[in-house]
A and B are shown apart, each in its own frame.
Chain A
Amino acid sequence: MPDMTKSDTSVAAPDAVDVAAPALQVVKSEKTRSLWGDAWQDLRRNKIFIISAVLILLLLTITFFPGWFTSANPAYGDLSKHYLQKPQLGKVFSAEWLGYDQQGRSVYARLIYGARASIAVGFGTTLLVTIVGGLVGMIAGYFGGLVDSVLSRLVDVFFGIPFLLGTMVVLNSFPERTAWVVIGALGFFGWTQLARVMRGAVITTKQSDYVQAAKALGASTPRILFRHILPNTLAPVIVVATISLGVYIGSEATLSFLGLGLNGVSWGNDISDGGNQIRVAQWIMLYPSIMLTLTVLAFIMLGEAVRNALDPKTR
């Protein structure tokens, strides 16, 4: 009875040295695959990834080509446009679509142009903390010993400073707050998390046999670091970086709301303004808030999706 039931499966493999993984995580022998390739296969079928990726792409387009979305000037205030004109939801994509604020500026135009500040600060800070934190973490993790002790304590010290309070104190001393200043302040207090992640990943990777094998061959330290350790630590770093991107965008808005963010058009500034008029004109605060929430959510979802795709255990 147990036999003869299933002789349907594919062709027998006559090649004695054909690829066959011994366990259940079997692998097709036909095409070359890597962890990233697998992850991509996984992501392509992940609805959450698709949604967040589309959102982020849209956001990037808005950032780089605001003119495609509105012809209105976000800074131009026309007081004749009713002091607080209500949204006209039928007039999609027009300047009056989402109404006007107290100075007669188009809320929609400000929404479009405000994206730039968020994205610039988000990406800029993430890049900064990834480079600084990654480097510190890698050095601490790889060299260990006293270097590690000193750097780890430094990380602990920075970690102990409340993130927002720290940035507020720093930003408060800058009268002119350009994107660079905000990025610098956020990065200065934010690099520790990536340093910790990187250090942990490097320590794990450092002990693996293939790193020992490279050492046994006489490989130089840069070679071991950049060819063997770095590629194998990228996965957790990318995940943390993606998630923190959303967090930095939120932080920028928070700072702007508190009056310590970027000078100029930004969602945070508009939320702050809108907050003062929430009882007469809710929409001024509502729309930037929705955009901000969606943006942060998109990055966090993207990070989670990538994390799951890169972790073979979740498959």
Chain B
Amino acid sequence: MADPGKIEEPQDAAAPNVSEVEVVDAHSESEAVAAIEAPVERGEPILQVRNLVKHFPLTLGILFKRQVGAVKAVDGISFDLYQGETLGIVGESGCGKSTVAKLLMNLERATAGEIFYKGQDITKLSGRAMKAVRRNIQMVFQDPYTSLNPRMTVGDIIGEPFDIHPEVAPKGDRRRKVQELLDVVGLNPEYINRYPHQFSGGQRQRIGIARGLALNPEVIICDEPVSALDVSVQAQVINLMERLQDEFNLSYIFIAHDLSIVRHISDRVGVMYLGKMAEIGTDEQIYDHPTHPYTQALLSAVPVPDPDAREHRERIILTGDVPSPANPPSGCRFRTRCWKAQDKCAEETPLLAVPQRFQGVDTPAAHESACHFAEEKDVVHAA
């Protein structure tokens, strides 16, 4: 069944971050559904993204639109998500991390590339197989004030997944199931008839999480799930998400701009810049041994809640702004703001791979980094 020749990796062939995809050739819809429903061992890849591209066309004209360019929101990224882990994706606004979430949820059509869920390319699925995927990949949204329909009661919101996938819970059972879910996320089950606006931000995010859990999914994509919440409530929601991960054996993709929270919750972290993955590795590799200059600048810019550190902490202050994704720089996309940039950076796009100098060396710095001049630099502990 496996057909490794089918997916060529033009860019990241050597990257160990991405394992070989075992494509399951499903000849019928039921075979595809069966493959999607099959269990995955802990630590095995469950979601594999290959050379994912999303370009939003820029058009002119009223009735007959012609394309005048494209916003390259996501421009060829590859990564794996392993069963039971949390993969954090960080980056600044406009780096494409939220577009990745939408592509994974199939809310946007990918321009190119594949997303394999248990060996099935979900960008090509439809019908029953697609519905099965939808059941297994759920999402938690950023803004708890807009992600719940204000005209529906909490019971209707959390129960809606059962209306759409009636096979999951028989009709008579649904109210009880909804109340169970409310209980699981730490809300009073008696609140079932209330409307979203009667809850605070943290409670609404719990409702959103309960909706995400309703269908017993395997993967949950979290797009900035706590950034709209108050500091004292953020910790509650993070703890809840960690507890649920253990309880329901979930795999998370955790997209956020808050680097401290991402480190706390993630097993592995990917750093995105202008639609490309700059660096990816375990949390220790990225935070304590970053080799990409962008990661280093990003980490050094995070304000640390320790006033004693402010005098002797080294800060890399980047100049300028992120270039427009409609017209990204040639070669390395970070070169316009990079202090190490040389001619080579403008001519040659650095591949996401373990840098030459670290290859075969047993060091945490030996992880994939898309930089010609990758160099380890600890900016977080510098004192």
Binding site for B on A (CB under 8 A): 17, 19-22, 27, 29, 32-35, 149-150, 153, 208-210, 212-220, 223, 227-228, 231-232
Contact = CB atoms under 8 A, between A and B. Distances in A.
Given A21-B197, A218-B135, 18 more contacts: A17-B186, A22-B230, A27-B198, A29-B198, A32-B193, A33-B198, A208-B146, A210-B147, A213-B147, A213-B208, A216-B105, A216-B106, A216-B107, A216-B134, A216-B138, A217-B161, A217-B165, A219-B164
B107 A215 contact: yes
B182 to A, nearest CB: 10
A33 B197 CA distance: 9
B116 interface: no
Interface in B164-220: 164-165, 186-188, 193-195, 197-201, 203, 208, 211, 215
Contacts of B201: 22
Contacts of B134: 216-218
Contact of B160 (A19, A21, A219): A219
A252 to B, nearest CB: 34
Nearest to B199: A19
A152 B161 CA distance: 34
A252 B131 CA distance: 52
B255 interface: no
B322 to A, nearest CB: 23
A212 B106 CA distance: 10
Contacts of B149: 210, 214, 227-228, 231-232
27 contacts: A19-B198, A20-B200, A22-B201, A32-B193, A32-B198, A33-B195, A35-B150, A35-B197, A149-B62, A150-B63, A209-B143, A209-B147, A210-B148, A210-B149, A212-B102, A212-B141, A212-B147, A213-B148, A216-B106, A216-B107, A216-B134, A216-B139, A217-B138, A218-B165, A219-B164, A227-B152, A231-B149
A19 B138 contact: no
Contact of A213 (B63, B106, B141, B188): B141
Interface residues of B, number: 44
Contacts of A214: 149, 160
A19 B165 contact: no
Contacts of A209: 141-143, 146-147
Nearest to A28: B198
Contact of B107 (A20, A32, A149, A212): A212
A223 B138 contact: no
Nearest to A210: B149
Interface of B: 62-63, 65, 102, 105-107, 130-131, 134-135, 138-139, 141-143, 146-152, 160-161, 163-165, 186-188, 193-195, 197-201, 203, 208, 211, 215, 230
A32 B186 contact: no
Contacts of B160: 214, 217, 219
B224 to A, nearest CB: 11
Given A153-B63, A216-B134, A219-B164, A27 B139 contact: no
Nearest to A22: B200
A38 to B, nearest CB: 9
B164 A217 contact: yes
Contacts of A208: 146-147
B195 A19 contact: no
B200 A232 contact: no
A19 B201 CA distance: 10
B151 A231 contact: yes
Contacts of B197: 21, 27, 33, 35
Nearest to B141: A209
A22 B143 CA distance: 14
Nearest to A27: B198
Contacts of B211: 213, 217
A19 B195 CA distance: 11
Q: 3 tightest CB-CB pairs across the interface, nearest first?
A: A209-B147, A218-B134, A231-B151
Contacts of A215: 107
Contacts of A220: 164
Contacts of B203: 17, 19
Contacts of B152: 227
A19 B193 CA distance: 13
A218 B147 contact: no
A213 B139 contact: yes
B139 A17 contact: no
Nearest to B153: A32
A218 B164 contact: yes
Contacts of B230: 22
A214 B141 CA distance: 12
A155 to B, nearest CB: 13
A34 B139 contact: no
Contacts of A223: 163-164
A229 B292 CA distance: 45
Nearest to A209: B147
